[in-house]
Amino acid sequence: MLIFVDESGTFTFAEKEDSWCAIAAYVIPESKRKQLDDLMRTFRFKYGNGREVKLGKAGEAAYIELLTKLRSIGGMAVVIAVDLSLHRRDAIERHRQGQVEKIRKNVPHMIYEEGRQAVGQVADELSALPLQLYTQLVLQVELIYTVLTSATLYFVQREPVSLGSFRWRVDQKDKMPTVYESVFKKLLPGFLQTKSLREPMIFISEGDYRSFRRFEYQPGEAPDYLSKVYGLDIDTTGDGNINIGKIINDDFKYVDSEKFAGVQVADLLASGVRRVLRGNFDNVENVALALGSNMLKAVKDRTTIRLLSLDQVSDVSERAAELIKLMNRYARPMIA
């Protein structure tokens, strides 16, 4: 399958309520790529003279029309949003420092000096990230794990062969890899592997997972550092443990959005959700409906759009809550 990722907003601190930023992923089976490319090519030539079209250039009617056509392709959208007005600088600094300290605790457990130096360097790089980029990194990790858990469950029921490969295409911010991109790629597999052992992925007992077997550890091969080093009660000796690092590193690239229709879609999804939550559409209910129709219904006690905060927790504004409920109502069911 193909997973395209982009974000909307700068993730900087704000005092104004509903200062939303969002990160989105758009996921499709390889078999749907031509349909997506054709749809976005038509969209670009109609509204951008063949170039990438940002949300502000197309207009609401064109955007809703695109989302409606996008739904028929059969992909799925995943979005995580954060209200930066809930974040305080000192709290985010403490959050980051806590992660840095957890990484540094691994240094003495590395067998080779090269490994100790590499872990120490990652901790240094994470500690030096600007706080807005640290916030983006945490949300992006959550987004990708949400994609892993939901996309495997969704597509095993509809196109199980798509689980045989995971091609990640993430919007690049410069022609040369940025420090953020470097740190993210280094940290992502470890963060996700730890998360998967604490919060295992859900599988359907009658599902056809033959294409996915290549991403499973053989019995006894799964990492045991969480139980041996940290004393956590996690069984890694049986079968069925997933090699998250292999899923991520199978084919992960930062790309120019101008050349990838799926990344353009992810950008339009993230921008659209951000504007809906801020109430910046004339026909915001219609946009929310069209966005929701490309998402999956959330499990109990969750929303279609995942709302996260690294600091204070608060109820969203009444208007934003209504729009989130509308997206939930029109989202597609997980079970086929």
- Three-state SS for 156-174 is CCCCHHHHHCCEEEEECCC
Domain boundaries, the chain: 2-87+129-330
pLDDT band at 323; cut points 50, 70, 90: very high
Predicted confidence at residue 104, as pLDDT, reads 86
More confident position, 117 or 169: 169
pLDDT mean over 117-137: 89
Percent of the chain with pLDDT over 90: 67
Whether the per-residue pLDDT at 307 is higher than 70: the answer is yes
Is the full-model pTM beyond 0.85?
A: yes
How many CA atoms, within 13 angstroms, populate the side-chain half-sphere of residue 9? 29
pLDDT band at 229; cut points 50, 70, 90: very low
Whether the per-residue pLDDT at 267 is higher than 50: the answer is yes
Whether the per-residue pLDDT at 264 is higher than 50: the answer is yes
Predicted confidence at residue 178, as pLDDT, reads 86
More confident position, 232 or 269: 269
pLDDT mean over 79-102: 93
SS3 332: strand
Whether the per-residue pLDDT at 232 is higher than 50: the answer is no
Q: Which residues contact 227 (CB under 8 A, 6 or more apart)?
A: 233, 234, 236
> Any idea what DSSP says for residue 50?
T
pLDDT band at 236; cut points 50, 70, 90: low
pLDDT mean over 42-61: 95
Predicted confidence at residue 230, as pLDDT, reads 43
> Any idea what DSSP says for residue 242?
B
C-beta neighbour count of 57 within 10 angstroms:
12
Whether the per-residue pLDDT at 151 is higher than 50: the answer is yes
How many CA atoms, within 13 angstroms, populate the side-chain half-sphere of residue 230? 14
More confident position, 104 or 26: 26
pLDDT digits (tens, 9 = 90+) for 102-121: 888 877 766 667 767 877 88
Whether the per-residue pLDDT at 324 is higher than 90: the answer is yes
Predicted confidence at residue 231, as pLDDT, reads 43
Whether the per-residue pLDDT at 283 is higher than 90: the answer is yes
pLDDT band at 67; cut points 50, 70, 90: very high
Whether the per-residue pLDDT at 238 is higher than 80: the answer is no
Predicted confidence at residue 190, as pLDDT, reads 81
Predicted confidence at residue 256, as pLDDT, reads 95
Predicted confidence at residue 326, as pLDDT, reads 94
pLDDT mean over 74-99: 94
CA angle 35, 38, 44 (to 5 degrees): 140
Chain mean pLDDT for the chain: 89
Cα dihedral across residues 248, 122, 84, 177: positive or negative:
negative
pLDDT mean over 124-152: 94
State the Cα–Cα distance between residues 255 and 260, nearest whole angstrom. 8
Q: Which residues pair with 8 in a beta bridge?
A: 22
